[in-house]
Chain A
């Protein structure tokens, strides 16, 4: 058994936490000494108090945002993967459709969100559509890249054994694409959250209340700055949790074979 301080897992958690504690301590102490007013910039303690005070409403908002994020993430994963499969089936399909996928990617969601929110009556649905559009592209591009990045030697072997297209896809292309796919998932999970929050902002300014972004807007209107920070804190936390889950999923699926997930053996 190695001493705790030398254990990799412990250091990986403890080191960032220690940095966080020091930063929060400095923030708290310096703002106290300079007595910065709460309505300009709150101290961590103010934010924490607000978090507890507005707990129920913030939690409700968090659930709304989380639902939109997860729905969008799942939709983006399903559609993105399907589109990627379509792309690798034929060069013609990819060449004719890829520019539109790029178009989708470069159009800022803030610009199209009002349109979607007007067109789609259901707020939940319209928000999910916006977030999906943001999260879709990394899945498409990564999965397409993965499905194309086949080891040429193995591809040759499959050809020599007269493997059907379907078998080559299942036995060779899909497993080979997994590392890229998981990379896409990681990026996409964060983007789904960003898309959801941005869409909520747009919907919020339009008077349709929902989610953590609306909490931030609302707190801004009433100059309740600590509540704004509390909502922001929850958004950040959600993002971190999503990323961690995706990283764990990727490690679970690839740890046996892929270089990116293999821990150095000491």
Chain B
């Protein structure tokens, strides 16, 4: 049967710690390196451990390999060298049983011919879940992103932010244990983005969902994360790591606090350093 430890329950209300100490790792990237077929080094060997319940954000200048690293974590691409472990096991053996991960793209990538409800139901259908079992899950996921009134709408009838919510609901409906998001709100205006960030914090907290998030926005990174990884380019590597040790779940007011501004200022300095051509090796 399942050789993996039993799934963590959602009603576990222990405080997720800001550091990875003492919590079982969900993802371990072991000196994984990525060379692209054309010879460019996408990622220098990277070591990274993501603990259960963490909200980890990858941030960095364009071309620093943050999306590549995320895809590597999702096993969408294979590392050229090094290993990827999910839940302490080789990712190849994890399969579908028990452990699920969900990926949210930069675009909502919804089926334009299907109503919101059918779009959210898609991953369950693809996993051959019977309709009776799927219906309450779908309803719940749509409710969680606040779109219950729109479940019979078509994507084109929704705003950009609402479409992104549908995409998030589609990710949540599988009750994932690991949520990977690649600049999900990058195309939205700031107001909508903030609102979705608030929702995301709430969802993450409710589910104790381990999340890896890629963004370009400093404010978003500081507001959401328990840990931020600043990456630098040429080749893509981890430049510095910032821990945001603030009470959870984050309140909307956190955005206006002096602490928030201080974090943002520091992160911004780091990012500027990381963007310098051939900047120093960073902290190892």
User: B154 in the interface, Cβ–Cβ < 8 Å?
Assistant: yes
Nearest Cβ distance between residue B158 and chain A, in whole angstroms?
12
- Asked whether, in the complex, the Cβ of B156 is within 8 Å of the Cβ of A257, the reply is yes
Contact in complex: A172, B107 (CB < 8 Å): no
Which of B60-68, B118-126, B206-214 contacts the other chain?
A: B118-126
A161: B residues at CB distance < 8 A: 122-123, 126-127
With beta carbons under 8 angstroms apart, the residue of B114, B126, B154 that contacts A167 is B126
Residue A233 at the chain B interface, CB threshold 8 Å: no
Report how far A158 CA is from B109 CA in the complex, Å: 11
Q: List 9 A-B contacts (CB under 8 A).
A: A151-B109, A160-B76, A161-B127, A162-B96, A171-B122, A171-B126, A256-B154, A257-B112, A257-B154
B residues neighboring A (CB under 8 Å): 74, 76, 96, 103, 105, 107, 109, 111-114, 122-123, 125-127, 154-156
Which residues of A lie under 8 Å from residue B125 when comparing CB positions? 167, 171
Distance (Å) between the CB of B163 and the closest chain A CB? 12
The complex places the Cα of A81 from the Cα of B161 at a distance, in Å, of: 38
Find B111's partner among A154, A156, A160, A262 (CB 8 Å cutoff): A154
Do A258 and B126 contact each other (CB < 8 Å), given the known contacts A153-B105, A153-B107, A162-B96? no
A175 near B: Cβ within 8 Å? yes
A154 touches B126 (CB 8 A): no
Instruction: Please determine whether B156 and A163 come into contact, CB atoms closer than 8 angstroms.
Output: no
Q: Of all chain A residues, which has the CB nearest B124? A: A161
**Whole-angstrom CA separation of A258 from B113 in the bound complex:** 7
Of residues 244 through 266 on chain A, the ones whose CB sits less than 8 Å from some CB of chain B are: 256-258, 262
- A154's nearest neighbour on chain B, judged by CB, is B109
> Does B156 contact A262, Cβ atoms closer than 8 Å?
yes
Contacts of A217 in B (CB 8 A): none
Known: A161-B127, A162-B126, A163-B126. A257 touches B113 (CB 8 A): yes
- B108, closest chain A residue (CB): A153
Q: Using known A-B contacts A167-B126, A257-B154, A257-B156, determine if residue A157 contacts B109 with beta carbons closer than 8 Å.
A: yes
Number of interface residues of A (CB under 8 A): 20
Using Cβ atoms and an 8 Å threshold, which residues of chain A touch B112? 257-258
Instruction: Flag if A172 contacts B126 (CB, 8 Å).
Output: no
Chain A residues whose C-beta falls within 8 Å of the C-beta of B109 in the assembled complex:
151, 153-154, 156-157
> In the docked arrangement, what's the CA distance between A179 and B107, Å?
22
Give, as a whole number of angstroms, the nearest-CB distance from B110 to chain A: 8
Chain B residue numbers with a CB within 8 Å of A158 are 126
Q: Pick from B112, B113, B114, B155 the residue with the most CB of A within 10 Å.
A: B113
B76 contacts across to A, CB distance below 8 A: 160
Min Cβ gap A190→B in Å is 26
Interface presence of A116 (CB below 8 A):
no
CB distance from B149 to the nearest CB of A (A): 18
Compute how far the CA of A160 lies from the CA of B103 in the bound complex, rounded to whole angstroms.
9
Q: With A156-B109, A157-B109 given, can you name 16 additional A-B contacts, CB distance below 8 Å?
A: A153-B107, A157-B105, A158-B126, A161-B126, A161-B127, A162-B126, A163-B126, A167-B126, A175-B111, A175-B113, A176-B113, A256-B154, A257-B112, A257-B155, A258-B112, A262-B156
Report yes or no: B113 in contact with A178, Cβ–Cβ below 8 A.
yes
Per the bound structure, the CA–CA distance linking A153 and B108 in Å amounts to: 9
User: A167 vs B126: C-alpha distance in the bound complex, in angstroms?
Assistant: 7
A163–chain B nearest beta-carbon distance, Å: 5
| 7 closest A-B pairs by CB | A153-B109, A161-B126, A175-B113, A257-B112, A257-B113, A163-B126, A257-B154
CA distance A178 to B113 in the complex (A): 10
Residue of B with least CB distance to A254: B113
**Cβ distance B222 to chain A, nearest Cβ, rounded Å:** 29
Chain A residue with the shortest CB-CB distance to B74 = A160
* Cα–Cα, bound, A159→B129 (Å): 17
Please name all residues of chain A whose beta carbon is closer than 8 Å to the beta carbon of B122 when the two chains form the complex. Answer: 161, 171
Greatest chain B CB density within 10 A among A156, A257, A262 is at A257
What chain B residues lie within 8 Å of A151 (beta carbons)?
109
Q: How far is the CA of A163 from the CA of B154 in the complex (A)?
A: 23
CA distance A109 to B84 in the complex (A): 62
Complex Cα distance A171/B125, Å?
A: 10
B residues in contact with A256, CB < 8 Å: 113, 154
Alpha-carbon gap, A139 to B114, bound state (A) = 24
Q: Name the A residues within 8 Å of B123 (CB-CB).
A: 161
A90 to chain B, nearest CB (A): 23
Nearest chain B CB to A266's CB is how many angstroms away?
16
Q: How far is the CA of A241 from the CA of B112 in the complex (A)?
A: 30
